[in-house]
Amino acid sequence: MKQTVLRYGAYGALTICVLFIISWYALGNLSMSVQELLGYVSIIVSLSFVFFGIKHFRDRENEGKVSFKKALIIGILISIITALAFGLLDVLYTEVLNPEFMDT
């Protein structure tokens, strides 16, 4: 279970960070409402790894069965890894890369 959580948490973290950086560099001239929408889409895409992580655990590591409690724990742990990575990137962005973000 630990390997599944770490692997799919890393996939989700990498996805959210890459999509954030791409939207910052390539799509920075779009309106704030469009950027907000793209931000929500990137969150949904990165958290889709929760589904894939639980499915991988069920099919490959647990002989096709998983209890609700175990699936919930796996999903929460994958989400925490993804959220922590995005939180660190967000702090880096607002403090170092674009400190005037809150003013705009």
What pLDDT, on the 0 to 100 scale, is given for residue 34? 82
pLDDT tens-digit readout, 12-53:
999 998 988 888 787 767 777 888 888 888 889 988 999 999
What pLDDT, on the 0 to 100 scale, is given for residue 31? 78
Rounded CA-CA distance 83/9 in Å is: 9
Rounded CA-CA distance 94/98 in Å is: 5
| Spatial CA neighbour of 43 closest among 90, 98, 104, 93 | 90
Q: What is the 3-state secondary structure (H, E, C) of 14-52?
A: HHHHHHHHHHHHHCCCCCHHHHHHHHHHHHHHHHHHHHH
